[in-house]
């Protein structure tokens, strides 16, 4: 004969979590599109409230874990570390949970109640707890409770960012001198931390191993002051290109920002005002190529890090201001080392600006400062550096023209004239830029 022992009843917390898990799993099994619009909107609000209530429970449990030393009993150095490694939370997230749980455990009844009712979010609770920690020591309990209640009321009506600002305002009304001192110190500390965290990293994307041209991922961090400087400098260079024969500018804002950063650095190199590098030479990009790469479009050119460039890109680099083109013979001996800005500069550059007024490509409105001098007949094939063999082109159209599909020459009236490729215009009607010089002679 055996005795059957009844299973002890589950703790209400455990039972509640099991029931909630089952209920949410059942809801997840359904498709969102089956809900009507009104039910869908209500479901979003209900889910957010449920999340807030669950987070209230989480804070209560984390507070209990921390108070009992459960984490350290398992060998973890702290509750934050335990949350990170046992439950894979991010360091900042784990620290906020422990800090807020401790604050709620020590008081903040109004915050605890509102979060448990799903009326505010965990982010609101973080902000209120942080603000209440700045209340002066020795404050009357009634005053502290009233301040917290005001913060909770604002949290119900505003998002965490605005509610956080209003919470700091509540603290400043109670303790204006202390609030000013804390705000000033906090701002100074935050600025110092942000500046110390500035970094910029270039990582090869690995696409060159798959047969692609290769590129780099850019990752970094800027403090607010540095961001303001960089963003202000990039702003004027980020404008979309105007619609033209090559179509509208379809680049994303992020792509325009990346192009603007390259353009800004290109101008800094071309200006020749950067500090000298090794050997007392100004920083200059050197691209090496075989002579046949320029004359016949065969082979590749090489950047300083060994990255290969196409013949079209090589021709572009060969006449780019601020960049040195080192042309080699078959034995890799230098035939010509171009001087930076050796081409269209001084009075010749000024003459190009006066004649073209900006980028000479049809429809482009880029001003002279955004343009480079382009040899209509390349210097590698005995093209002269003169007004009759030059045109101003913005960087985008310079690259486009170097691909060889558009044809440009100086008309008998002294201005550049263009023939588009047949896939742009089957009739290949001659074009010119009238944006900068509306009174230029027109081509019928």
Q: Where are the domains of the chain?
A: 44-196, 198-203+219-275, 284-342, 343-444
What's the pTM? Answer: 0.45
Q: What is the SS3 string spanning the chain?
A: CCCCCCCCCCCHHHHHHHHHHHHHHHHHCCCHHHCCHHHHHHHHHHHHHHHHHHHHHHHHHHHHHHHHCHHHHCCCCCHHHHHHHHHCCCHHHHHHHHHHHHHHHHCCHHHHHHHHCCCCCHHHHHHHHHHHCCCCCCCCHHHHHHHHHHHHHHHHHCCHHHHHHHHHHHHHHHCHHHHHHHHHHHHHHHHHHHHHCCEEEEEECCHHHHCCCCCEEEEEECCHHHHHHHHHHHHHHCCCCCCECCECCCCCHHHHHHHHHHHHHHHHHHHCCCCCCHHHCCCCEEEEEEHHHHHCCCCCEECCCCCEECHHHHHHHHCCCCEEEEEECCCCCEEEECCCCCCCCHHHHHHHHHHHCCCCCCCCCCCHHHEEEEECCCHHHCCCCCHHHEEEEEHHHHHHHHCCCCEEEECCCCCEEEECCCCCCCCCCCECCCCCCCCCCCCC
Tell me what pLDDT residue 297 has: 60
State the average pLDDT over residues 330-358: 66
Which of 42-56, 134-148, 184-198 has the weakest average pLDDT?
184-198
State the average pLDDT for the chain: 78
Instruction: Give the lowest-confidence range in 109-118, 155-164, 312-321, 345-354.
Output: 312-321
* pLDDT above 80 for 398: yes
Query: Is the pLDDT reported for residue 411 higher than 50?
Result: yes
Q: Report pLDDT digits (tens) over 144-163.
A: 889 999 999 999 989 888 88
Q: What is the pLDDT of residue 279?
A: 44
């Amino acid at each position: 004969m055996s005795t059957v022992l009844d299973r002890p009843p589950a703790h209400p917390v455990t039972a509640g979590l099991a029931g909630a898990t089952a209920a949410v799993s059942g809801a997840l099994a359904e498709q969102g599109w089956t809900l009507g619009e009104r039910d869908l909107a209500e479901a979003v609000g209900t889910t957010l409230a449920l999340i807030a209530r669950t987070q209230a429970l989480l804070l209560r449990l984390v507070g209990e874990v921390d108070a009992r030393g459960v984490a350290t009993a398992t060998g973890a150095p702290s509750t934050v570390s335990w949350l990170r490694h046992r439950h894979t939370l991010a360091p900042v997230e784990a620290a906020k949970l422990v800090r807020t749980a401790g604050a709620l455990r020590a008081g903040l009844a109004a915050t605890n109640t509102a979060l448990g009712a799903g009326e505010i979010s965990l982010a609101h609770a973080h902000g209120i707890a942080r603000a209440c920690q700045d209340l002066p020591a020795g404050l009357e309990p009634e005053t502290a409770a009233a301040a917290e209640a005001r913060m909770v009321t604002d949290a119900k009506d505003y998002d965490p960012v605005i509610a956080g600002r209003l919470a700091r305002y509540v603290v400043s009304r109670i303790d204006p001198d202390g609030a000013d001192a804390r705000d000033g110190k906090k701002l100074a500390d935050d600025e110092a931390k942000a500046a110390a965290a500035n970094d910029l990293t270039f990582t090869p994307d690995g696409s060159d191993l798959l047969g692609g041209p290769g590129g780099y991922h850019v990752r970094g961090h800027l403090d607010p002051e540095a961001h303001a400087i960089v963003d202000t400098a990039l702003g004027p260079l980020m404008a979309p290109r105007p619609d033209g024969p090559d179509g509208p500018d379809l680049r994303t804002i992020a792509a325009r920002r990346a192009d603007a950063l390259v353009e800004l650095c290109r101008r800094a190199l071309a200006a020749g005002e950067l500090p000298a590098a090794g050997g007392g030479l100004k920083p200059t990009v050197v691209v090496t190529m075989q002579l046949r790469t320029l004359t016949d479009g065969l082979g590749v050119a090489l950047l300083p890090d060994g990255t290969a460039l196409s013949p079209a890109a090589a021709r572009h680099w060969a006449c780019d201001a601020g960049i040195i083109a080192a042309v080699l013979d078959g034995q890799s001996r230098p035939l010509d080392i171009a001087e930076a800005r050796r081409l269209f500069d001084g009075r010749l550059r000024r003459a190009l600006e006066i004649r073209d007024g900006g980028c000479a490509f049809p429809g482009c409105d880029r001003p002279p400062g955004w343009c480079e001098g382009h040899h209509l007949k390349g210097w590698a094939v005995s093209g002269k550096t003169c007004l009759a063999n030059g045109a101003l082109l913005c960087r985008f159209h310079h690259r486009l023209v170097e691909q060889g599909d558009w044809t440009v020459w100086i008309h008998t009236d002294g201005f550049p004239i263009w023939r588009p490729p047949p896939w742009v215009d089957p009739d290949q009607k001659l074009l010119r830029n009238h944006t900068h010089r509306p009174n230029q002679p027109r081509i019928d």
